[in-house]
Amino acid sequence: MNVLDKIMKPKSIAVIGASTKEHTIGSDIMKRLQEYKFTGKIYPVNPKGGIIEGLQAYTNVNEVPGEVDLAIIVVNAKFVLDTIDQCHKKGIKGLCIITAGFKETGAEGAELEKQLLAKVREYGMRCVGPNCLGVVNTHPDIRMDGCFAESLPERGNIGFVSQSGALGGGILNILKDLNLGFAQFISIGNQADVNAETALEYWENEPDVEQILLYMESIQNPANFRKLASRITKKKPILALKAGRSAAGASAASSHTGSLAGADKAAAALLKQSGVIREFSLKNLFSTAKVFANCPIPKGDRVAIITNSGGPGIMATDAVCEYGMQMAKISDETKAKLRSFLPAAASVKNPIDMIASAPIEHYKQTLETVIADENVDMIITIYLPFLGLKDIDVAKALMEIKDKNPQKPVIGVFMTTNEFFSKLSDMNVNMPFFMYAEEAADGLNRLNQQRLWMEQPAGKIPCYDVDRAKVEKIIKASIAEGRDQLTTLESIDVLQAYGIRACKYGLATNEEEVVNLGNAIGYPVVMKMTSKTTSHKTDVGGVRVNIQSEEQLRAEYKDLIQKLTEKGLIEGLEGVIIQEMVKGNREMVCGIATDPQYGPMMMFGLGGVFVEALKDVTFRIAPLTDLDAKDMIKSVKAYKLLQGARGTKPAQMEQIEETLLRLSQLVNDFKFIDELDINPLLISEKTGEGIAVDGRIKVRLEEAKKAFSCDCAVCCQ
């Protein structure tokens, strides 16, 4: 038995802090447990004893005559630690601490919560809260409403975790209006012990929970969340509303990758890589939940639209196509059957327009016929009120057909009064209904998104043969000089050590070396300064391109030295890098930025001087799988350029994917790399390769020193 069963499937509950005083939490909890008809035993605990809600109250939990699975604690914060001791003495393993006054109140409360968790761990208990709304299980065998929301829960197939108690309570109060129900609900509050990840793992194989909803303000352990969610979303959908979308702190970063990254970019990447469907409003969260609650996962993305009005049918078609789904090709057999009962003015092509005079019988026959078509995976049925037809009667007819044909998703779009939707809330519906066609298309898109994720094989993290020792030597030399920023030369050397294709290059420290390198590499060449004190070379004229001859190379070198001397920047000059001039007008960028909570993030997108202006970039959390790398490249608008727009040579996609995967391996091997930019990653006109033309690497100095403080290979992992 999972110890969380003691909280979510208890046979007996002690309400410690139960009260006879109206409109207190201790009173409301007792009332909700009884009103919802909890199937187990309820033991009120109050120092005064007496009778509470018709039940004998005990002055101490240890006076309770029977076993207790769950203690719901609503006493003052200063009494909570003693209460936990008493629960331990009684043998109670499940706690739900509704009491507030812990880390949400400041340092003193945080210390109290630390002591609370220490006791919970020591006693082998599990604890929801503190500072939470409570827990709910609507299963007929349990019927536990262990929270103080005003409305009793509605039965459904959703497992819902809310980090906000008040929000969770508000949602429980409107479930009926939303036409939704919960299987289980956990208000995690301060998440001292049980958090969203605990709930995910608990519900993974819980048959009563068919979809999981999360309201989160933070993700405590991103790596563990990714591992769990990636596995669970292959079995059932997870929908998340992640609040806190600001990118505070990103502007302080020195690299392009760092400045474009932010807290929400990291969260978005994590959720996407985990197969979690992210919504950005409660309205969308529950609209999508309504679709998953009433629709199976489709077999494909072919959509049929049935309507009694041309305009909404066309708008629905537009919405379906904008989501990249297909309009189903209705079979000749289906068309013939439709023509046999629809009027001559009707259109049997998709969208199928039955015209305004369509009676209920036509709705039923058309839906039955279209569901049977093997070319159709999903259906939108649109109704506009005409000729005295009653909307609720049409809805009942559709649900009757749906009940007999549960194998395909069907969504109703009823452009009618709010009274219709109020009537639906009193009915046991088996399909979702929306006011607008765009909402239906959005729902089908989410179903299709889940289908594609479930069909996708698990990604693999490749391991390449690299020169790790060379990189260690380069970084050690840098930190020995107290530098957190590697020079351009060092950065390119690191990239090459990890098998990342860079331009042919060499370092020169005087004019003759410059000329010898230029002649050896072959013109045209590029000349770049590499300095221990200046990282943004273009700002000081430190990059000279398209140098066609030895004479031009000498002149450019002399001019660079003169300019740096005049600006007082000659001191840190390490030399100049002479590189082959790769021809190509497609400039990409890839790199690494470190989020303080989520760790290293990989970036890929359109590069060059416009990288921060256009922001056509995408992020993923490292380490990358092969599928992550493919997805990153396809996610940016510049992907069309890589495919070979306007007669250009298509880019070597596999080689660019490998570049991203090798970078991911680099940051996994050297976890103290803080920022890394390859800008531009130039796409060669000649070969289509992605070639690193420039590189910048920054490390976290103290962390790097600590990693290299011993020679043990394990310490550097």
The residue extents of the domains of the chain are 5-209, 296-455, 468-580, 586-716
Distance CA 356, CA 351 (A): 14
Residue 542 identity (one-letter amino acid) = G
Q: Which of 443, 494, 489, 487 is nearest to 467 (CA)?
A: 494
Considering the entire predicted model, what is its pTM? 0.89
- Between CA 29 and CA 34, with CA 30 as vertex, the angle to 5 degrees is 115
pLDDT, tens digit (0-9, with 9 covering 90-100), for 173-204: 888 888 899 999 999 999 999 999 999 999 99
List helix spans (H) across 457-542: 468-480, 488-497, 511-521
Specify the pairing of strand 211-216 against strand 238-242: parallel
Distance CA 504, CA 135 (A): 63
- Residue 535, pLDDT score: 64
State the Cα–Cα distance between residues 229 and 432, nearest whole angstrom: 26
Q: Is 145 in contact with 153 (CB distance < 8 Å)?
A: yes
Q: In whole angstroms, what is the distance from residue 203 CA to residue 210 CA? A: 9
For 282-323, give the DSSP string.
HHHHHHHHHHHHH-PPPSSSEEEEEESSHHHHHHHHHHHHHT
- Distance CA(602)–CA(617), nearest Å, equals 10
Separation between Cα atoms, residue 704 and residue 697, nearest integer Å: 13
Q: At what angle do helices 222-232 and 263-273 cross, to 10 degrees?
A: 30
Strands 543-547, 378-383: pairing kind: unpaired
Query: 476's torsion region: left (phi>0), alpha (psi -120 to 50) or beta?
Result: alpha
Domain with residues 586-716, CATH architecture: 2-Layer Sandwich (3.30)
Helices and strands: H and E segment counts in the chain: 25, 30
The pLDDT of residue 480: 93
- H/E stretch holding 603 reads strand 599-606
CATH topology agreement for domains 296-455 and 468-580: no
Degrees (nearest 5) of the Cα angle 343, 346, 390?
A: 80
Virtual torsion, Cα 121, 125, 126, 131, nearest 10 deg? -80
Q: What Cα–Cα distance (Å) separates residue 237 from each residue in 196, 298, 440, 593? A: 15, 13, 18, 30
Q: Given CATH 3.30.1490.20, say whether it is the number of domain 468-580.
A: yes
Q: CB 121: neighbour CB atoms within 10 A?
A: 12
Assign domain 5-209 to its CATH architecture: 3-Layer(aba) Sandwich (3.40)
Residues 6+ apart with CB under 8 A from 70: 6, 7, 10, 12, 13, 14, 92, 94, 95, 96, 146
Low-confidence ranges of the chain (pLDDT < 70): 1, 245-263, 535-539, 610, 710-717
Superfamily of domain 296-455: Succinyl-CoA synthetase domains (3.40.50.261)
- Using the CB atoms, write b or e for 147-172: b if 16+ within 10 Å: bbbebbbbebbbbbbbbbbebbbbbb
- How far apart CA 86 and CA 79 sit, in angstroms, is 11
Predicted pLDDT at 274: 97
Specify whether the CB–CB gap between 436 and 443 falls below 8 A.
Answer: no
Q: Which token pair is 547?
A: 């140098």
Alpha-carbon distance 485 to 495, whole Å? 15
CA atoms within 13 A on the CB side of 369: 23
